[in-house]
Structure 1
Amino acid sequence: MGSEGHADGTVGKALDVLDMVAGHARPVRFSDLLENSPYPKATLYRFLQTLTHQGMLSYDADRGTYTLGVRLVRLAHAAWAQSSLAPIARPFISDLAALTGETVHLAQMDQGQVLYVDKRNAAKPVEMFSQAGKVGPAYCTGVGKAMLAFMSDEAVEAAISRQSFHRFTDHTLDTPDKLRAELGAIRSRGYAFDREEHEPGIICCAAPILTRNGRVLGALSVTSTTARTTLAALEAESTRIRECAALIAAEAESWRFPEQE
């Protein structure tokens, strides 16, 4: 990402700066942002001033720090309500979590990465990476692979090009070819696994949420730990998971995501 010629112009640069502030996950000083900024000092300062004036950022003059602004909170809430599967899926994933006694994740694809949009904790919660609002890798998560497997060939290749293929564990699929082979197996059986590929000890069974015409809306998973259960036991829930996915898809199509003729 260079300081000149951003593909999306000024708007793209401003969004880059928002991402920089959000990425610190805490109030951040100008000097901290500048240290890793692709933009010159004056350019970065100008964007910060504009974003602050527009309410997208908040500036604490006493501490000299920037945080995400309240206007972003309003926009995020509107996006969650209008574009997320979460409001539609909430009763269904709550029922699934109650029936299985395990953690249920709901996710959608965002620029080749997994965006977790909702989560229901197990009866005995387990600490893990995934939380609503977090972004995770698609190539080594059950929900990510479930979505990738049913996307168009063009969309899959575009998503694969965005994967890091970092080896998180000994089980991580760390090459495009390994992932492509796995996606073929997922298409055949209709559901995906996470075999401790992202986090040691964390396993899941996941299913895509598909419209009647096969368009991918998202995915959901039942997730647990190797200390508590087995992959075979989670696979035994695959029918229930797929039925839940179908209920969410039907509700989504009738309400918010109708197929275009």
Structure 2
Amino acid sequence: MEAKRRPGRSRKTEVGEVRTLERGLHLLEVLSEAETLSLSELARRTELSPSTTYRLLETLRRRGFVDWDEGKGLWKVGLRAYQVGSAFLTRGGLIEAAMPEMEKLVDELNETVNLAVLDGNEVIYIAQVEGRQLIRMFTRIGARAPIYCTGVGKALLMEHSEAEVRRIVGAGPFKPYTAKTITTLEGFLETLKEARQRRYVLDDEEREDGVRCIAAPIHDNRGKVVASMSLSAPTTRVPDERLPALGARIRQAADAVSIRLGWSPHLTPG
């Protein structure tokens, strides 16, 4: 039986509204894949006119689903889209897939384990399992941090091209948080190059004195990096001689989460 339409609403109106919704969702999908795009490029990729693209983007911007960087003339996915998406992550996606491995790591190593995602040029911590040491690391869920001086941030970008890294983090110089913070783009790119060879990254007291973080990327079923997992601990408990073994263990845990999300190792770039 055909559903009744509300009075005053024609089938043509309903079809037009559905088409508008489809176009808006398509814009969000394109933005999520490219991270930032100009109006003209968005119009080209979605095969919409610039005027239609702009109207849709303005509607999405007012609702917080996209953001507009006036200085750069670029559009990107907004925080509201993350908040809506996080409902999926919490209910049966990323967090559910990651939590067993995070808990297993804490049981084995007794150090705090974090889960983070990328948002623009920052990372957002979306889950944490605390270690049970008297002195342990703690990060508030929902907290933001720079990419360039955090283990989770480096892991999120370690498989990006140099051009993508430059676009996301900028040209530098970067704000120093400690004497060990990498403040140049060249230094950051070199760090990522080294990380790609071993498939894990190290934050060596770059954000906070006396703290080391070891992190690895998490992939989805397309092979795309969608999150990163890290272990945080005082430097006294993570000496140089433990780094290879700990790095391999974090990488193993991150890969296990990726497999739960449908990833296969042959999907990983390089």
Name the TM-score class by shorter chain: 0.5 to 0.7
Alignment partner for residue 215 of structure 2, among 206, 216, 220? 206
Evaluate the alpha carbon distance shift between residue 108 and residue 232 of structure 1 in structure 2; reply closer, same or farther with a 3 A threshold.
Answer: farther
Alignment coverage as a number of residue pairs: 198
The answer on 1:193 being equivalent to 2:186 is: no
**1:95, 1:136 → 2: CA distance?**
25
The match for 1:184 is 193
Superposition map of 1:145-160 within 5 A: 145-160=154-169
Whichever residue aligns with residue 180 of structure 2, its letter is H
**SS of alignment partner, residue 261 of structure 2:** helix
TM-score where L is the length of structure 1: 0.65
Identity %: 30
Note if contact 1:150-1:214 (Cα within 8 Å) is conserved in structure 2. no
**1:99, 1:125 → 2: CA distance?**
16
The answer on 1:12 being equivalent to 2:61 is: yes
**1:164, 1:10 → 2: CA distance?**
35
Deviation per residue, 1:15-38 (Å, 9 max, x gap): 49xxxxxxxxxxxxxxxxxxxxxx
The match for 2:235 is 226
Structure 1 gaps of 5+ residues are 1-7, 17-70
**SS of alignment partner, residue 249 of structure 2:** helix
Once the two structures are TM-superposed, the CA of residue 80 in structure 1 deviates from its matched residue by 4.1
Once the two structures are TM-superposed, the CA of residue 180 in structure 1 deviates from its matched residue by 0.8
Evaluate the alpha carbon distance shift between residue 167 and residue 94 of structure 1 in structure 2; reply closer, same or farther with a 3 A threshold.
Answer: same
Deviation per residue, 1:156-202 (Å, 9 max, x gap): 22212287711000000011111011111111121100100001111
Alignment partner for residue 145 of structure 2, among 120, 126, 136? 136
Note if contact 1:116-1:135 (Cα within 8 Å) is conserved in structure 2. yes
The match for 1:243 is 252
**2:198, 2:157 → 1: CA distance?**
14
Structure 2 gaps of 5+ residues are 1-56, 66-79
Query: Once structures 1 and 2 are overlaid, which stretch shifts more, 179-188 or 221-230?
Result: 221-230
Whichever residue aligns with residue 235 of structure 1, its letter is P
**1:166, 1:230 → 2: CA distance?**
26
Q: Which has the larger radius of gyration?
A: 2
Evaluate the alpha carbon distance shift between residue 162 and residue 86 of structure 1 in structure 2; reply closer, same or farther with a 3 A threshold.
Answer: farther
Once the two structures are TM-superposed, the CA of residue 142 in structure 1 deviates from its matched residue by 0.7
Evaluate the alpha carbon distance shift between residue 157 and residue 93 of structure 1 in structure 2; reply closer, same or farther with a 3 A threshold.
Answer: same
Whichever residue aligns with residue 105 of structure 1, its letter is N
TM-score where L is the length of structure 2: 0.63
Evaluate the alpha carbon distance shift between residue 128 and residue 102 of structure 1 in structure 2; reply closer, same or farther with a 3 A threshold.
Answer: closer
**SS of alignment partner, residue 253 of structure 1:** coil
Alignment partner for residue 97 of structure 1, among 98, 102, 106? 106
Whichever residue aligns with residue 125 of structure 2, its letter is Y
Deviation per residue, 1:238-260 (Å, 9 max, x gap): 22111111110011127xxx99x
Evaluate the alpha carbon distance shift between residue 244 and residue 183 of structure 1 in structure 2; reply closer, same or farther with a 3 A threshold.
Answer: same
Once the two structures are TM-superposed, the CA of residue 90 in structure 1 deviates from its matched residue by 0.8
Alignment partner for residue 128 of structure 2, among 106, 119, 125? 119
Once the two structures are TM-superposed, the CA of residue 9 in structure 1 deviates from its matched residue by 4.0
Superposition RMSD on alpha carbons, in Å? 3.5
**SS of alignment partner, residue 119 of structure 1:** strand
The match for 1:53 is none
Once the two structures are TM-superposed, the CA of residue 88 in structure 1 deviates from its matched residue by 1.6
**SS of alignment partner, residue 236 of structure 1:** helix
